[in-house]
Amino acid sequence: MDLETNIKKGLKEASVYGTGAMDSLHIASAKLLQVDEFITNEKPNKSIHRSKNINIISLYDL
């Protein structure tokens, strides 16, 4: 995985969906690794759930 590419994809994620910096990098990394789902302990009302690039699952919903 190329760090510079991942950072650029994270920046785009943040600018499009308004996600936080670390959340954007996590989503970009998950996409580059071609994961199907991203599981988080963030509450469903947090910004990470705005992303449409990957299926985000909150532990609060399980």
Residue-range domain boundaries for the chain:
3-61
Block residue for tokens 């991942």:
6
pLDDT of residue 2: 87
Whether residue 11 contacts residue 23, with contact meaning beta carbons closer than 8 Å, is answered with: no
Asked if pLDDT for residue 1 goes beyond 80, the answer is no
- The DSSP code for 54 is S
From the CB of residue 30, how many other CB atoms can be counted at a distance below 10 Å? Answer: 19
pLDDT of residue 26: 96
Chain segment 5-38, per-residue pLDDT in tens: 999 999 999 999 999 999 999 999 999 999 999 9
